[in-house]
Structure 1
Amino acid sequence: MTDGAVRIARISSDPIRLEDHLAAIDDPRMGAETSFVGRVRDHDPDARGPVAALEYTAHPDAEAALQALASRAADAHGAIVAVSHRIGRLEVGEAAVVIAVAAAHRGEAFAACRDVIEDIKRELPVWKRQLEADGTAEWKGLGG
């Protein structure tokens, strides 16, 4: 098993691209790559109507927290991880979270990717405000 590594752990207001994350995890020692892209969707079970956009806000320590949870998953699975979470206003269809993982085998790659997104949802100090088409807005809890 290879030691884990984090190549990207970023909180940014700039658009995030899967291609950049896949390039960051490219490693000839790794036989499996997996990825996750979380996009803003036009609906939510709690919304009264269509969702127009999301606004993400992060705690100043959010990037350090993202680095820590990515490192935990990378070390646990001997994987290479690249992960970014977007902040600011995102329109429907834009990527809010991008994760790319490389590992020696598919099981480790899938497990590390799942660990990263689940830990983001539980632990990352990023909050979202859901903006609905009718002008109403609602803050959602901890996580992306």
Structure 2
Amino acid sequence: MPAVPRVLVQAGPFDIGAEAARLQAGRTDVGGLASFLGICRGDGGLVAMELEHYPGMTEKALTRIAEEACARWPLTGCTVIHRHGRLVPGDPIVLVLTASAHRVAALESCAFLIDWLKTKAPFWKREEFAGGAGRWVEAKAEDDAAADRWAR
């Protein structure tokens, strides 16, 4: 039976240590825990990024993506936390944790999740620069190519 993923979309920060401990708590079958922590960069004078989403729709989309990972790999646990709202350089944006009896399943499923989240999660990002200039972030071909490698 596939693991049931934990998916959260929230404005506030998360605690990576607490989330990792939650996936291991009381379990002796976890042999590997993989993680990805996405952080807001300050490239090119970026002062903030605003992430918008549609509540309900976004959680459902992220849950479907996480359920796909749980179906493809023998995971003992899976956590996806994505923030929304105004974030500044250095702020954590997204956390993906996958746990499995073996490292390959944990690592591959974590890579799959972040690749698919990058292209299939319904978030809209607007970058804000010094002086008040801003722009919407467009999809990138390299992100689509990374996600395509997981197509069945």
TM-score normalised to the size of structure 2?
0.83
- Tell me how far apart the structure 2 counterparts of residues 25 and 141 of structure 1 sit (CA, whole Å): 34
- Tell me how far apart the structure 2 counterparts of residues 33 and 14 of structure 1 sit (CA, whole Å): 24
Gapped regions of structure 1 (runs ≥ 5) = 44-48
Q: Does 1:51 align with 2:46?
A: yes
| Cα-Cα RMSD | 1.8
Equivalent residue for 1:122, pick from 114, 119, 137: 119
- 1:141 corresponds in structure 2 to 138
**Percentage of matched positions with identical amino acids:** 30
DSSP 3-state at the match of 2:105:
helix
Per the TM alignment, residue 83 of structure 1 is displaced from its structure 2 partner at its CA by 0.8
- 1:78 corresponds in structure 2 to 74
- Tell me how far apart the structure 2 counterparts of residues 6 and 17 of structure 1 sit (CA, whole Å): 20
2:113 is matched by which residue type in structure 1?
V
- Tell me how far apart the structure 1 counterparts of residues 85 and 93 of structure 2 sit (CA, whole Å): 10
Higher helix fraction: Structure 1 or Structure 2? 2
Equivalent residue for 2:18, pick from 17, 20, 32: 20
- Tell me how far apart the structure 1 counterparts of residues 13 and 111 of structure 2 sit (CA, whole Å): 22
User: Is this contact kept in 2: 1:6–1:67, CA < 8 A?
Assistant: no
1:89 is matched by which residue type in structure 2?
R
2:54 is matched by which residue type in structure 1?
H
Gapped regions of structure 2 (runs ≥ 5) = 141-152
2:39 is matched by which residue type in structure 1?
R
Per the TM alignment, residue 15 of structure 1 is displaced from its structure 2 partner at its CA by 1.0
The structure 1 segments of at least 4 consecutive aligned residues displaced by more than 4 Å after TM superposition are none
2:67 is matched by which residue type in structure 1?
S
DSSP 3-state at the match of 2:4:
strand
- Tell me how far apart the structure 1 counterparts of residues 132 and 15 of structure 2 sit (CA, whole Å): 29
Per the TM alignment, residue 133 of structure 1 is displaced from its structure 2 partner at its CA by 2.0
* CA displacement, residues 28-78 of structure 1 (integer Å, 9 cap, x when unaligned): 2110011000000110xxxxx311111100123001111110111012111
Cα 1:109–1:123 change in 2 (3 A) is: same
TM-score normalised to the size of structure 1?
0.88
User: Is this contact kept in 2: 1:123–1:142, CA < 8 A?
Assistant: no
Tell me whether 22-31 or 117-126 shows the greater mean CA deviation.
Answer: 22-31
